[in-house]
Amino acid sequence: MRPSLPEVLRSATSVGRFPGLGTTKIDRVVIIDDYSVARGGATALAVLSAKLFRGLDIPVTYICGDDAANAELVALGVSMIGLNSRDLLSAERAKAFVTGIHNGAAVRMVANWIAAKDTANTVYHVHGWHQILSPAIFRALLPVARRCVVHAHDFFTACPNGAFFDYQAQEICLRRPLGGSCIATACDKRSYSHKLWRVARGSNILRLLKDQADFGRIILLHEKMAGFLVGAGYRPERLTTIRNPVAPLSIKRIEAEANEEFVFIGRLDEEKGIEDAVAATRKAGVKLCVIGDGPLMPLVAASGDHVRAVGWQSHAEIGPTIRKARALLMPSRYPEPFGLVAIEAARSGLPVIMSRSAFLAEEMQRAGMALACDTADESAFADTLTRFSQMPGHEVRAMSERAFRLSPDLASTHEEWRDALLAEYQSLISTNAVPELTDGVAIQGVLS
Same fold: 5-246+412-442 with 256-410: yes
**What is the predicted pLDDT for the residue at 96?**
82
User: Listing from the earlier edge strand, what are the strands of the sheet with 325-330?
Assistant: 307-311, 288-291, 261-265, 325-330, 352-355, 370-373
Averages of pLDDT over each 10 residues, the chain, 448 residues: 40 39 80 89 93 98 96 98 88 82 95 97 96 95 96 94 91 93 93 93 90 88 94 93 94 97 94 96 98 94 96 93 97 91 96 96 96 97 98 98 96 95 91 36 26
**What is the predicted pLDDT for the residue at 2?**
37
Burial of 96 (0-12, 13-18, 19+ CB in 10 A): middle
Class in CATH terms, 5-246+412-442: alpha beta
**What is the predicted pLDDT for the residue at 442?**
27
**What is the predicted pLDDT for the residue at 15?**
38
How far, CA to CA in Å, does 26 sit from each of 31, 54, 76, 99?
A: 14, 12, 18, 33
Rounded to 5 degrees, what are φ and ψ at 151? Answer: -95, 120
Residue 260 identity (one-letter amino acid): E
CA gyration radius, the chain: 22
The residue extents of the domains of the chain are 5-246+412-442, 256-410
**What is the predicted pLDDT for the residue at 98?**
87
**What is the predicted pLDDT for the residue at 430?**
61
pTM, entire model: 0.85
Q: Which fold does the domain 256-410 belong to in CATH?
A: Rossmann fold (3.40.50)
359 half-sphere exposure, CB direction, 13 A CA radius: 20
**What is the predicted pLDDT for the residue at 41?**
79
Three-state secondary structure readout of the chain: CCCCHHHHHHHHHHHHHCCCCCCCCCCEEEEEECCCCCCCHHHHHHHHHHHHHHHCCCCEEEEECCCCCCHHHHHCCCEEEECCCCCCCCCCHHHHHHHCCCCHHHHHHHHHHHHHHCCCCEEEEECCCCCCCCCCHHHHCHHHHHHEEEEECCCCCCCCCCCCEECCCCEECCCCCCCHHHHHCCCCCCCHHHHHHHHHHHHHHHHHHHCCCCCCEEEECCCCHHHHHHHCCCCHHHEEECCCECCCCCCCCCCHHHCCEEEEECCCCHHHCHHHHHHHHHHHCCCEEEECCCCCHHHHHCCCCCEEEEECCCHHHHHHHHHHEEEEEECCCCCCCCCHHHHHHHCCCCCEEEECCCCCHHHHHHCCCEEEECCCCHHHHHHHHHHHHCCCHHHHHHHHHHHHHHHHHHCECHHHHHHHHHHHHHHHCCCCCCCCEECCEECCCCCC
